[in-house]
Amino acid sequence: MSTHDYVIANQNGANTRSDLNNALSAIVSNNSSASEPSTTYAYMWWADTTNDLLKQRNAADSAWINILTLSTGVPVAGAADFSNGGDTAGADRTIGNNDAYAFGIETGGVERVKWDTSGNMGLGVVPESWHSSYTALQIGNGGHIASDTDLDYVAIGGNVYKNASGIWNYQNTATASILEQRDGKHTFKVAPSGTADSAISWTTAMTIDNSGRTMLGSASTNAQLNTHYNGASEGKNIICNDSDTGGGSNGIMAFNRNGSEVGYISTTTTATAYNTSSDYRLKENVVPMTGSIDRLKALKPSRFNFIADADTTVDGFLAHEAGEVVPEAATGTKDAMRTEEYEVTPALGEVFTPAIEASIREVTPAVIGTPTYYDIDGNVLQEAVEAQNAVHEAVEAVAEVVIESNVEKPEQLSEGQQWREVTPAEMGEREVEDYQGIDQSKLVPLLVAAVQELTAKVEALETAQG
């Protein structure tokens, strides 16, 4: 192993012969040395024994290009741009190809990363053929992170991809789910098990809008937390479970107003209590109740049915009448109205199948052929791999087809179809009834006071007759 400056000096015959032999030795060993040759030339070779690399000098004779490893003969990808110590060229560098084919990275003879010609990336998987407006990172056989041309859209999904026609499809035969973020709104959707590459019919399981309002199984946004379920088939809407097996009372839900607790629900092993603030330290101007019998007589208990349930007659009060006697028992105002926004005419649009751009789709990735590698004792380090060309198929361009126009958004669309809004919904305002409510527990103090007054009268009569 030697290097040489490849300049034969004027000297006697023996020295000239020795100099030539040294030059030839450097040539046949590719300038094999632990340090680079002191004199370099454009395109010269250097077997760098320190880093186990065969290198070639670039055309400008300004840097070394890593070609392959000395011990295995495996080519070094991106050799012109990178070294173990970092970028050797002092500029941004690109790894890849310049033709219309996918690009992959292998370790141990197995492809670990794959980029398709659209820029979609697969980790441990060849990415699906995503819609042209999407850029996706697929992870393994099920997961993905994707975005589309909307600047504020991102999706994280399991077992889904958006196909070239713009339809969400199953990636494998299994259940599917997706979390989408758009316009500051988070939407979590689920789907039952379906067949690989078939269209998905989503169910929205949860939505959090950009005001922080959360909707569980409902699209309504009239509350900070809105749940929707079918009581006839789905049992209870909300279950609060206290795992404490002791006999004490534990709070299970609290209610605050302006940062201060004003009530809570508590449970024991056998009962539930609905508690409102009533500590004496919260009150002032405490005086006994008087005239309770007369106030009680002013209440007008009635029997009635609710319009929504004509077959059920119940006992109760009219809120405004009870409120005239015990104001804190009633909420709202008699005959009140409120302004409500409503849809005058629905949005109209088109049902269509989107256009498909002509493209080349990789069906089977290329396999890089490699020889059998042996160690110095003749043992096989790596079996030969037969080279195989990638298999591609042409995807023909398909023009967009409008199937229906001037229609409302259908609840379900056939596979491959989409709906887009053309005419926005017309919204209006109207006055609707703002109903009163009643908390009948607020009548209890009056009832107790009236009973006490009656008891005092009865005792006085008994004493007088005694």
Give this prediction's pTM.
0.55
By C-alpha distance, which of 429, 430, 428, 420 is closest to 347? 420
User: Could you count the other beta carbons within 10 Å of the beta carbon of residue 98?
Assistant: 6
Radius of gyration (C-alpha) of the chain in whole angstroms: 41
Q: Are 368 and 387 in contact (CB under 8 A)?
A: yes
Q: Are 52 and 74 in contact (CB under 8 A)?
A: no
Nearest residue to 18 via CA among 31, 8, 27, 28: 8
Is there a contact between 355 and 398 (Cβ–Cβ < 8 Å)? yes
**In 3-state terms, what secondary structure has residue 293?**
helix
63-120, pLDDT tens digit by residue?
Answer: 999 888 888 777 775 444 444 445 444 556 667 776 677 888 888 778 899 988 888 9
Instruction: Yes or no: say if 57 and 64 are a contact pair by the CB < 8 Å rule.
Output: yes
CB 282 within 8 A of CB 257: no
Listed in order, strand segments (DSSP E) in 217-271 are 225-227, 250-257, 260-267
What is the predicted pLDDT for the residue at 294?
95
pLDDT at site 178: 95
Q: Which pLDDT tens digit goes with each residue over 350-365?
A: 998 878 777 777 777 7
Domain borders along the chain are 1-95, 240-284, 287-328+436-466
The pLDDT, as a whole number, for residue 156 is 95
- Which residues on adjacent β-strands are paired with residue 430? 340
pLDDT tens digit sequence for 302-341: 999 999 999 999 999 999 999 999 999 999 999 999 999 8
Q: List, for residues 142-201, the tens digit of each pLDDT value.
A: 899 999 876 778 999 999 999 888 888 999 999 999 999 988 889 999 999 988 888 888
The rounded distance, in Å, linking the Cα atoms of 217 and 227 is 6
pLDDT digits (tens, 9 = 90+) for 310-320: 999 999 999 99
Strand 348-353 to 337-345 pairing? unpaired
Q: For 160-169, how does the pLDDT look when each residue is reduced to its tens digit (9 = 90+)?
A: 999 888 888 9
- Look at residue 251 in the predicted model and tell me its pLDDT: 92
Phi, psi of 324, rounded to the nearest 5 degrees = -70, -25
What is the pLDDT, as a whole number, of residue 150?
A: 67
Q: Which pLDDT band, with edges at 50, 70 and 90, does 20 fall under?
A: confident
pLDDT at 80: 43
pLDDT per residue as tens digits for the range 265-289: 999 989 999 999 999 999 999 999 9
Q: Cβ neighbours of residue 437 under 8 Å, at least 6 residues apart?
A: 319, 330, 331, 332
Q: What are the DSSP E strand ranges found in 119-249?
A: 121-123, 135-139, 143-147, 154-158, 160-162, 168-170, 174-182, 185-194, 203-208, 214-216, 225-227
Higher pLDDT, 234 or 349: 349
